Structure 1
Amino acid sequence: MNSQYAVAVHILALISTFPDHSSSADIADSVGTNPVVIRGVTGQLRRAGLLSTQRGVAGATLTRPAAQITLLDVYRAVNGDASVFRLHDHPHPQCPVGANIQGTLEQRFGVAQAAMERELERTTLADVMSDLAVRAG
Structure 2
Amino acid sequence: MSDSQRFPVAAHALAYLAHKGAYSPAEAAPSAVLAASVPTNPVVVRRVTALLAKAGLIGTRPGASGGAWLLHRPETITLDTVLRAVHGCAHLGSPPAGAKGCPVSTHIPRQVAKALTAADLAAGEALSKVTIADLLAADPPSLAGFAPHPSCPVAA
> C-alpha separation between the residues in 2 aligned to 1:119 and 1:69?
14
How far the C-alpha of 1:125 sits from its partner, in A, is 0.8
Residue of structure 2 aligned with 1:76, choices 66, 81, 84? 84
Using the size of structure 1 for normalisation, the TM-score is: 0.85
Structure with the higher helix share, 1 or 2:
1
Q: 1:36 aligns with which of 43, 56, 65?
A: 43
What is the TM-score when the length of structure 2 is the normalising length?
A: 0.76
Please list every run of at least 4 consecutive aligned residues from structure 1 whose deviation after the TM superposition is greater than 4 angstroms: none
Give the equivalent residue in structure 1 for 2:17.
15
How many residues align? The count is: 134
CA contact (8 A) 2:28 2:69 kept: no
Q: Distance in 2 between matches of 1:85 and 1:2?
A: 9
Across the aligned residues of Structure 1 and Structure 2, the Cα RMSD in angstroms comes to 2.5
Gaps of 5+ in 2: 141-153
- CA 1:88–1:103 in 2, change beyond 3 Å: closer, same or farther? closer
Task: Measure the CA separation in 1 of the matches of 2:82 and 2:108.
Answer: 31
Identity %: 34
CA contact (8 A) 1:21 1:27 kept: no
